[in-house]
Amino acid sequence: MIRYLISRIMHALAIVAFAALVSFALLQLAPGDAVTQSVDQPGRSSAAQVAMRERLGLNRSVPQQMLTYFSGVARGDLGVSFTEQRPVRSVLADALPATMILSGAGLVLACLLGIGIGTAQGWRPANRVAATLGTSLTLLYTLPEVVVGVALMAIFGLAWTVLPVGGMTDPIVELTGNVGAQLVDRLRHLVLPSFALALVWSAAIARQQRAAIREVASATFVRTAHAKGLSASHVLRRHVMRSALPGTVAVIGTMLPALAGGTVIVESLFAWPGMGSLLVRSVALRDAPLVAGAVIVMATVIAIGTLISDALVGWLDPRTRAEVVE
């Protein structure tokens, strides 16, 4: 297990290093630098510009700048945002919790929907309800997140006004100071964006879970369990699920980048104040340090998520650990 974990941690570190490299390339290639793009002092003289470049180290060679940037990244220093005039780290730290809440809720919903429907479909192939739900999920999988989001918004937010369609909180409810009402309000704001994410992404989970359950259900050890007289639900819980889940957890791990990409669209659509809408805004405003920082932070979060899913798979299924040791 230790050797397996070490190999997975190296993999996660490689991802973060790759993201840092992409970010540095981005900063070098993007139009303008900290001197020309700063908004507080537009009319600097050329002598002042040269002096400022010297002070910020922008006149040094590319490898030297790269070394400075990487050592900064390693210490958690991501530079200063052009538009916000404060460290990128603090701008991102403000936006990260909102994104974690939304993508966390979306992921949990996707797992519940995907594993639930996939299991039902695989375990009871004749069940029409499960089959219909499974087919509907497959249809949603190919659609763009923005279309699913707009449809949810139109149906539940506008045609039938049961749920809020924008933002994370209702400012009026926030002012009352009633903690219970605030919690309910926040949950209500979370419903539509998290479903927009989950509906698109649960199909891949359902497909994997269905295939895995079908495969395991015909195994001899399952037949033995049935023959021993165990109840069907006991066989499913203790025998079939144990073998079927590792593959599904692995698939969920590989889906994390796409899920993060989906939050970019869904956050912008539902005015969710997270990393996704921040990223879109900073691209529109040409704020390269902020974009680069967001790329690194997103890649780090994904690398950690993948690491957790890898560790889970290794724990659930001893065969994966053995593969690395071989």
Partner 1 sequence: MTAPVQRRRAVSTLTLVACTVAAMVAVASVLAPWLAPHDPAAQLDVVTLKNAAPSWSHPLGTDPFSRDMLSRALFGARTSLTIGIVGAGLAAVIALAWGVLAGFVRRPIGDRMMSVVDAFRAVPRKVVLLAAVLVVPHASAMVLAVLLGVTSWTALSQVICVQVRSVRSRDFVRAAQAIGATPMRVMFRHIGPQLIGSMTAASALLLADMLAVEAGLSFLGLGVRPPHASWGTMLQDGVPYLASAWWIAATPCVLLVLTVLSIARIADAVHASGATTAPVP
Residue ranges binding partner 1 (CB under 8 A): 11, 14-15, 18-19, 22, 26, 29-31, 139, 142-147, 150-151, 153-154, 158, 254, 257-258, 260-262, 264-265, 268-269, 279-280, 283-284, 286, 288, 291-292, 294-295, 298-299, 302-303, 306
- Report which of 114, 192, 202 is spatially closest to residue 157, judged by C-alpha positions: 192
The residue (of 33 and 145) whose beta carbon lies closer to partner 1 is 145
> Shortest Cβ distance from residue 260 to partner 1 (Å)?
5
Phi, psi of 87 (to 5 degrees): -55, 140
The span from the CA of 108 to the CA of 115, in Å, is: 10
The residue (of 27 and 113) whose beta carbon lies closer to partner 1 is 27
Contact (CB, 8 A) for 39 and 83: yes
Residue 64 is inside which H or E element, if any?
helix 62-74
How far, CA to CA in Å, does 297 sit from each of 23, 188, 191?
A: 11, 28, 25
Two tokens, residue 134: 């499974």
- Report which of 13, 4, 85, 26 is spatially closest to residue 283, judged by C-alpha positions: 26
The residue (of 202 and 268) whose beta carbon lies closer to partner 1 is 268
> Shortest Cβ distance from residue 255 to partner 1 (Å)?
11
The residue (of 13 and 183) whose beta carbon lies closer to partner 1 is 13
The residue (of 261 and 318) whose beta carbon lies closer to partner 1 is 261
- Under DSSP, the state recorded for 125 is T
The residue (of 225 and 278) whose beta carbon lies closer to partner 1 is 278
> Shortest Cβ distance from residue 269 to partner 1 (Å)?
7
The span from the CA of 43 to the CA of 8, in Å, is: 50
The span from the CA of 300 to the CA of 14, in Å, is: 10
Contact (CB, 8 A) for 263 and 103: yes
The span from the CA of 147 to the CA of 159, in Å, is: 16
- Report which of 251, 287, 240 is spatially closest to residue 92, judged by C-alpha positions: 287
> Shortest Cβ distance from residue 283 to partner 1 (Å)?
5
Residue 164 DSSP SS3: coil
> Shortest Cβ distance from residue 294 to partner 1 (Å)?
7
> Shortest Cβ distance from residue 261 to partner 1 (Å)?
4
> Shortest Cβ distance from residue 305 to partner 1 (Å)?
10
Amino acid at 275: M
Two tokens, residue 51: 């002096």
The residue (of 117 and 152) whose beta carbon lies closer to partner 1 is 152
> Shortest Cβ distance from residue 252 to partner 1 (Å)?
14
The residue (of 241 and 288) whose beta carbon lies closer to partner 1 is 288
> Shortest Cβ distance from residue 8 to partner 1 (Å)?
12
The residue (of 14 and 74) whose beta carbon lies closer to partner 1 is 14
Q: Helix crossing, 179-217 with 241-269: angle to 10°?
A: 140
